[in-house]
Amino acid sequence: MNRKFCIAPMMDWTDRHCRYFLRLISQHTVLYTEMVTTGAIIYGDAHRHLQMHEAEQPVALQLGGSNPADLAKACKIASDYHYNEINLNCGCPSDRVQNGMFGAIMMKHAQTTADCVKAMVDAVDVPVTVKHRIGVDDFDSYEFLTDFVGTVADTGCETFIVHARKAWLKGLSPKQNREIPELDYGRVYQLKQDFPELEIIINGGITDLEQSKQHLTKIDGVMIGREAYTNPYLLADVDQQIYGSKNSMQSRKKVAEEFIQYVDNELSQNIKLQSMTRHILGLFHGMPGARQFRRHISENAHQPNATIDVLIEALAKTTG
């Protein structure tokens, strides 16, 4: 799987409807699920969390957990859904995640993380990767980072997705943790130089393809988060500019029309219209009619009897 350009796992955002929509814009971008905890898979409704449309591929599943046996079990259950990669979350700083002893706090426990990754590697045939920060709390030296990566890499993990900020586990919200700690791209570049055999993907503060291409001169791949959600059409020429595809870009209107077909089918499976349309509000970002498009969907998609007509009417208000 070519991870030169990836969309970050984002809680409440990168669900299966969002991923299907983004795949209509770019065929090659690697997509990540929301983080799913091992408990949700082992003891909850695994199918609801793991189901996806085959058209979404390539997709990576992100897991949250810190118990090697539970992670291995969750990986085996997930293997029936044919994800291209399974990623372990070692970067989320939220209180809920900390209380479960996983997420960014795992960076303080490199050997435990390594044990988890080893169990996952042994459980499945697909690549197991780790997403983490450059540090956590006062554990923010470069030596701390290299010790963490080196310890985990010894398990057979070959791909590390590095958010180029440290995380503060106390005093900052998850949103503030994405904005307040300073970005240090140089530290991620150095990591690649010191571990040339590993695949290093950079994440944090990247908002367009020009920035992405600059990073790609130093490291192996780029991961974009919120910007790709609020302005999804930035993916429109990823295939051409990043992957060298000769295929022509999909127009915004063509993307919307294809998504309408998907929505129509999902509605027949009793999926609520709003749970799908909320992901496409930014499709016409910066284009004439964008505000009317968003408003029509926002005002009508949540209605109990909302149908596909809401999307068709919204699309008629655009010229993009």
Is 231 a domain residue? Answer: yes
Q: Look at residue 74 in the predicted model and tell me its pLDDT.
A: 98
- CATH number for the domain spanning 213: value is 3.20.20.70
Same domain, 237 and 256: no
Q: Look at residue 241 in the predicted model and tell me its pLDDT.
A: 97
The C-alpha angle 61, 64, 68, rounded to 5 degrees, equals 105
Same domain, 236 and 274: no
Q: How many domains does the chain have?
A: 2
Is 136 a domain residue? Answer: yes
Q: Are 63 and 35 in contact (CB under 8 A)?
A: yes
What ranges in 107-250 are assigned the alpha helix state H?
A: 110-123, 142-153, 174-177, 185-194, 209-215, 226-230, 238-241
Q: Which of 241, 261, 277 is the last residue of a domain?
A: 241
**Residue 313, H or E segment:** helix 309-316
Buried b (16+ CB within 10 A) or exposed e, 65-97: bbbbebbbbbbebbbeeebbbbbbbbbbbbeeb
CA contacts within 13 A on the Cβ side of 301 = 25
Same domain, 209 and 282: no
Q: Which domain holds residue 280?
A: 252-316
Query: Which one-letter DSSP state was computed for residue 282?
Result: T
**Global pTM value:** 0.95
Is 78 a domain residue? Answer: yes
Same domain, 47 and 138: yes
Q: Look at residue 57 in the predicted model and tell me its pLDDT.
A: 97
Same domain, 234 and 273: no
Same domain, 119 and 202: yes
Averaged pLDDT in 10-residue chunks for the chain of 320 residues: 97 96 98 96 96 96 96 98 97 70 91 98 97 95 98 97 92 77 96 98 97 98 96 97 94 96 96 96 94 96 94 88
Q: Look at residue 98 in the predicted model and tell me its pLDDT.
A: 56
Q: Look at residue 97 in the predicted model and tell me its pLDDT.
A: 60
Q: Which of 212, 241, 270 is the last residue of a domain?
A: 241
Same domain, 235 and 264: no
Same domain, 273 and 235: no
Q: Which of 241, 268, 289 is the last residue of a domain?
A: 241
Is 246 a domain residue? Answer: no
Q: Catalytic residue positions?
A: 92
Is 44 a domain residue? Answer: yes
Same domain, 38 and 158: yes
Q: Which amino acid is present at 261?
A: Q
Is 76 a domain residue? Answer: yes
Q: DSSP string of 2-30?
A: --SEEE---TTTSSHHHHHHHHHH-SS-E
Q: Look at residue 175 in the predicted model and tell me its pLDDT.
A: 77
Is 247 a domain residue? Answer: no
Q: Look at residue 101 in the predicted model and tell me its pLDDT.
A: 77
Q: Look at residue 180 in the predicted model and tell me its pLDDT.
A: 78
Same domain, 145 and 265: no
Same domain, 262 and 233: no
- CATH number for the domain spanning 271: value is 1.20.120.1460
Same domain, 302 and 166: no
As a whole number of Å, the CA-based R_g of the chain is 20
